[in-house]
Amino acid sequence: MLQSISRRNVLKTAASAAGVLGVSHPFGFTLPAAQPKASFKQGVARWCYNKIPLDGFARAAADMGIRGVDLVGPEDWPTLKKYGLVCSITSGGGSIADGLNRKENHEKIEQEFRQNIPRAAAAGVPNVITFSGNRKGLSDEEGIENCIIGLNRVKGLAERHGVTICLELLNSKVNHKDYQCDHTAWGVEVVKRVNSPRVTLLYDIYHMQIMEGDVIATIRANKDWIGHYHTGGVPGRHEIDDSQELNYPAIMRAIAETGFAGFVSHEFVPTRDPLASLREAVRLCTV
């Protein structure tokens, strides 16, 4: 009995050391080295928690290890800064329904970018958001061409200020009927042809699970074109725990393996105690 216990302890210690160091197991096979911690930062979308006063919410988020808050305006940036947080993405140009896919919107959207990008840069905000707009009968080919034309008007501004424009992928099946940038391949075609390190996609995991699934393989295949992520449980856009169909720890490991160093922000609407649900999401996504 003592010999058996002793042998188990020795093997457990040896296996642990091998896993950390990537060395050979005493019986001849090699255990993998421990994986480095993810380089991405976790954030949270403010609108999902707007019933909680910002000061208390920012303090709680910082205590959880969250580093940024999505979709807050300049008037709230000082409150975030007080708790060591940054606005992780803010308004850029256009709206979900009226976006870059129509040339008649370009002048107005460009003016919005020319106001929002320098202001974001001055405050250390890394990203601004933009949208394709709804189809309204427009072909996918023409929508792509028009988005490229619109983004080419402002990509130099983004490059000079070191701010990244993120074109958001949204589902057109449940939440945003007729939205055009509703598949990863469509969005990738736009940002690839704009060909700027400061024009990327906002890959919303909730939306893309609804539209196309195959989330991990899609992330791996398109890692070079993604500048920001959003989480959310499917179906319903609620908690990202085991009440829904996505395996978020596995998705986070896949994102970490790509070397992504930006923000993965939680954009789900909690159905339970909101801060407890957010705390759980942070834990699930810490890999």
Does residue 9 carry a pLDDT above 80?
no
Q: pLDDT, tens digit, for every residue of 214-248?
A: 999 999 999 999 999 999 999 999 999 999 999 99
- Say how far apart CA 286 and CA 41 lie, in whole Å: 9
Output the pTM of the full model.
0.87
Alpha helices in 153-223 (DSSP H): 155-161, 184-194, 205-211, 215-221
Does residue 4 carry a pLDDT above 60?
no
Q: What is the structure's pLDDT at 22?
A: 41
Q: How far is residue 207 from each of residues 49, 80, 151, 194, measured CA to CA in Å?
A: 19, 27, 23, 23
- Report the topology of domain 35-284: TIM Barrel (3.20.20)
Length of the chain in terms of residues written:
287
Q: pLDDT, tens digit, for every residue of 88-115?
A: 999 999 999 999 999 999 999 999 999 9
Q: What is the structure's pLDDT at 38?
A: 79
Q: Start-end ranges of CATH 3.20.20.150 in the chain?
A: 35-284
Q: Across the strands, what pairs with 43?
A: 68, 265
Q: What is the structure's pLDDT at 1?
A: 41
